[in-house]
Amino acid sequence: MYCKIIIYIVVLILLLMPAFYLNNVFGYLPCIFFLVVSIFSLLYVFALRRTFSFSQPANNMYCRKNTKHKFSVVMKNKWLLFYPRITCRFYKNNLFGQIAEVTDLDTTLCSKEKKNFDFDIEFNHIGTYEMGISSIRVYDLFGIFYLTCKNFDRGSVIVRPRCFDVKNLDFYDVRGRQITLSTARSKMEGDDYSGVRQYTRGDPIKSIHWKISAHTREYMVRVFESYTNRGVTIYVDSEVTGYPDEDLLSIYDCLVETAYSIANCAVEQKEDVELIYKKDNYVQTMFPRNQDDIDNEIMDLNGVSPSYGGQLVEMFEANSYRQYGMDIIIVCTANLNESLIQYLEQMRGLRKKIYLFYAVTKTRKQNLSDDEKLNLGNLLNLGINYYVNYSAEELQHDEEMKEYA
């Protein structure tokens, strides 16, 4: 824009030079003609702006991950004037709210002409994308002036996870079914303490009964009678740290698609499903009954969180005192640490069957650290099944997963 202004001024000065040399009215004719043309061009571009209309898709379009979605823009010239040039700037945001893709489209419009333009946009990650026309430039006949139109309504595309067949994981083998009373009273030194037991590794501090602990001089924890119901509880931890942005999104996709596939598999087998996640600083517990419920609730997740705040621990603590729970526990996380193992050990003590799905990148899966291998070994010692995967698609192939089970 500034270059055009400078060029315009330079041309105007050059056209004034004959006036200084000739010193008569004929010397001013080039400059006057140029000014008249400029004024005409300016008025023409204002007239064009009033006769132009366009439309783009509304909000809340849906598609699946790794599919292309068609985005259509319709432009219409409502009058007899000719549009020598129109530039539409199309943009798409990434899941971090940054502009990731910009496309400029140049076209012309004849009198009362209508044109349709289609963009095939591919979405490689799960989430809600903002996209649309950010600006439109309408040029005059001579390319001297243009008007920029902004502040258009912006569309959104909701990209849903893919569903994979995970029936081969066999969560519901006969030996894995244990629907029993998990806790009972404990006796110490002849006295009957109802509803408490000795502290064991993995018990949360919140469950310690301080008055009885002071009396017995040992840590005692509250015990709640807990029964297991037939069904699946799925914990989804959306905190992913220590990776570049692209890897963060890929790991988050793996977590969500794993939870989504397992939930759909359980619903198909007429099992109860419980989906637990954290949103807006609150632990959410949902009970989807069919695939439509799962579609809606899985998209209610906050999205990937690039900082660690102990989200999974909060979810465990919020559900540690419930009297009833499902007999199959599924944990989808990218954070493997001692705190997680302690809570899983506590759940295992309640006679629940546990599956941990540890999401990593493809490169990291092939080169796990010594700490990761140690923690995974501890899980095996506790009788907890685990899977290391970089994509939910891997869960379809039983032979690839045997080495981790």
pLDDT surpasses 50 at 13: yes
pLDDT at 163: 92
The pLDDT of 266-279, averaged and rounded, is: 90
pLDDT at 118: 82
pLDDT surpasses 80 at 375: yes
Q: What percent of the chain has pLDDT over 70?
A: 84
Minimal CA–CA distance to 274: which of 319, 219, 216?
Answer: 319
The pLDDT of 352-356, averaged and rounded, is: 87
Q: Alpha-carbon torsion 342, 347, 353, 354, what sign?
A: negative
Q: Are 98 and 129 in contact (CB under 8 A)?
A: no
The 3-state DSSP class for residue 122 equals: strand
| Cα distances (angstroms) measured from residue 199 to each of 70, 213, 216, 217, 292 | 59, 10, 12, 12, 43
Among 2-6, 243-247, 365-369, 385-389, the range scoring the smallest mean pLDDT is: 2-6
pLDDT surpasses 70 at 323: no
pLDDT at 58: 63
pLDDT surpasses 90 at 262: yes
The pLDDT of 195-211, averaged and rounded, is: 71
The pLDDT of 308-328, averaged and rounded, is: 77
pLDDT at 277: 92
pLDDT at 181: 31
Q: Are 266 and 404 in contact (CB under 8 A)?
A: no
pLDDT surpasses 90 at 172: no
Identify which has the larger pLDDT, 160 or 103.
Answer: 160
The pLDDT of 73-80, averaged and rounded, is: 86
Q: What average pLDDT does the structure give for the chain?
A: 81
- For 225: left if phi > 0, alpha if psi spans -120 to 50, otherwise beta; the answer is beta
Of 119-133, 218-232, 313-327, highest mean pLDDT: 119-133
The pLDDT of 128-154, averaged and rounded, is: 83
Q: Are 293 and 193 in contact (CB under 8 A)?
A: no
pLDDT band at 398 (very low <50, low <70, confident <90, very high): low
pLDDT at 194: 52
Of 59-63, 142-146, 150-154, 240-244, highest mean pLDDT: 240-244
The pLDDT of 120-126, averaged and rounded, is: 87
Q: Give this prediction's pTM.
A: 0.74
Strands (E), 37-195: 52-55, 61-64, 67-77, 83-93, 99-109, 114-123, 127-139, 146-149, 155-160, 186-188, 191-193
Residues whose CB falls within 8 Å of the CB of residue 27, separated by 6 or more in sequence, listed in order: 18, 19, 20, 21
